[in-house]
Chain A
Amino acid sequence: MHTNLSRHDLARARLRLLQMHFEAGVGHIGGNLSALDLLMVVHHELMRPGDAFVLSKGHSAGAIYVTLWTLGRLDDEALKTFHRDDTLLAAHPPPAGLADVMFATGSLGHGLPLSCGLALSRKLRGEEGRVWCLMSDGEWNEGSNWEALIFARQQGLANLTAIVDLNGLQGFGTTAEVADLRPLATKLRDFGWDVEEVDGHDAAAVAAAGRREGAAPRAILATTTKGRGVSFMEDRMEWHYLPLTADLYEQAVREVRAAADLPSATAG
């Protein structure tokens, strides 16, 4: 198993994400932190020319903006506008204006059908290229995803990979409390998908799972931690919503730096 992404790369992205949310004074940090490593692996390690990416969990837009920043596709000036009036970088992705964002998402249950359309297009035209769709676990409550599961299998969309950010928390409770779909892997396999379960914060494992291909559409169930990397946020539902205070921001930065052995004086 191999990845070119170092833990420093991932920590720097995490620090930039925290900074962006702190400066904007907004929440949704927890779900962004759970998704960030997955987004980094998909964009740095897995996507090739001709591939497409759809962020179905639109509330992790911050993490995609930061990932695009790590790729040089967005600059600091752009990130400064996050969540401000007149910005393209809203809390959920915009319908136009960012070349790397294909669809405005934010209402859950839209990304997988859209991804099926992109994958079907490639299949009908005989084009290379894989479609990657990042989903939340809570959004499996939405019926449209189950329609898409059936469709993707029926149409043989082997060029489609759905990655599920299984952080175990949704809007107003744990996924087990609200709508218990465990074991999700079994359910998806029963729909005819190839399913692989990985640690969503193990970049090498995610990359390896992403590189494997088969004859069926693929789902990578990535177990993650909401608020990953910040002790007071981890597995806490309130960090779906809360913004950071100055003190908490300082603590969060210290923790992320320490965990990655980044010197505290160096800029992220």
Chain B
Amino acid sequence: MRNAFCEAMVGVAEKPEVAFLTGDLGFMALEPLRDALGRRFINAGVAEQNMVGVAAGLARAGWRPWAYSIAPFIYARPYEQLRNDVAMHALPVTLVGNGGGYGYGVMGATHHALEDYAAVLALGGIRVLVPAFDSDVAGAVASILGQSRPAYLRLGLDGAPKDFERPPFEPWRRLIAGEAATILVCGPLAGGLVGAIRDLPQERRPSLWLVSELPYGELPEAFLADVRRRSWPTWPPRPTSSSSRSTWPLGAWASGWRETCCSGACRHAGSRIGTPSATRRAATVPRPSTAGSAASTPRRFSRRSADADRRQEA
């Protein structure tokens, strides 16, 4: 994804407010960007705290600075600079972490960043963009530049089969339709899943959803519909019939959440999560229309983004 990222950045290099800082990384990858940006490409050395502070200073002076390193080095080492200098001032600095999650694999534990976007999101007011495919990166870069806010761009490895037709970058996408469980994935893990499930027979094939921007706001209606509708395949496989269909709590949970969770004063009253019997009941009892309750359900998952918006306005 590094090359796709470089290409995407070269594509926006003509914007005079774009500046790029690297923590001494990018050999055999970012040279075209260095050439395109000239003096606006700065190797800040192996000094990430200073680099993020410098980026905040540049942003305060009207620049759109990008600061690049391996994922754990760009968010964890300068975490206080991210917190105080960037997030606290809502400055439009973008941190770019290459190899987020387990992306660096056998390179060793110090290079993993399984917790990166959880830690970044905890600060509030920072958008996290997680492209899943090389073809996503330009869209993610454009999305970041489309808003004047702090952002974390987490790069990984596009692992989808070559012939898979990658849909254009969006915060939410359904990659594969199926009748079995609904899977929601964040980031390049999606590619491996595509390879694993796309050839399954339809009744055993999960519906695969991909989220590429966090915090993700309200869950899309189509995703919820999938969650309600789909069931996990039984294991070991049993003869399929509508009467003996086994289900997994997720579908019941999602429908229960829409109908009861956080509505009125009860707060999670009559939890629908958990027991197989409750699950079966939820799956077989005809459900009342959710239209009314949906309208009155507080937007539990959108609260963070609302906070972020307020912070931004302030």
Contacts and interface: CB of A to CB of B under 8 A. Distances in A.
**B39, B50, B314: most-surrounded residue (chain A CB, <10 A):** B50
B47 A150 contact: yes
A116 B45 contact: no
Nearest to B314: A96
Contact of B88 (A95, A117, A120, A148): A95
A87 interface: no
A163 B53 CA distance: 18
B58 interface: yes
Interface in A112-165: 112-122, 124, 143-144, 147-148, 150-151, 154-155
B89 interface: yes
B63 A148 contact: no
Contact of A113 (B39, B42, B49, B314): B49
A107 B84 contact: yes
A104 interface: yes
B54 A116 contact: yes
Contact of A118 (B42, B50, B61, B80): B61
SS class of chain A's interface: helix, strand, loop or mixed?
helix
B44 interface: yes
A148 B42 contact: no
Nearest to A97: B314
B53 A113 contact: yes
Interface string B37-53: 00110101101011111
B20 to A, nearest CB: 12
B88 A116 contact: no
A124 B45 contact: no
A249 to B, nearest CB: 33
B55 interface: yes
Contact of B57 (A105, A109, A121, A154): A121
**Residue of A103, A117, A143, A151 with highest tally of chain B CB at under 10 A:** A117
B182 interface: no
Given A107-B80, A148-B50, A118 B314 contact: no
Interface residues of A, number: 29
Contact of A144 (B50, B61, B62): B50
A154 B51 CA distance: 13
Given A95-B89, A96-B89, A124-B39, A117 B56 contact: yes
Contacts of A102: 60
B53 A148 contact: yes
Contacts of A118: 57-58, 60-61
A218 interface: no
Contacts of A105: 84
B19 interface: yes
Contacts of A150: 45, 47, 50
B259 interface: no
A116 B84 contact: no
B81 interface: yes
A151 B60 contact: no
Contacts of A109: 49
Interface of A: 95-96, 102-105, 107, 109-110, 112-122, 124, 143-144, 147-148, 150-151, 154-155
Interface of B: 19, 39-40, 42, 44-45, 47, 49-63, 65, 80-81, 84-85, 88-89, 314
Give 5 nearest A-B pairs by CB, closest first.
A117-B57, A113-B53, A147-B50, A121-B61, A147-B47
5 contacts: A107-B80, A113-B50, A114-B54, A117-B59, A122-B61
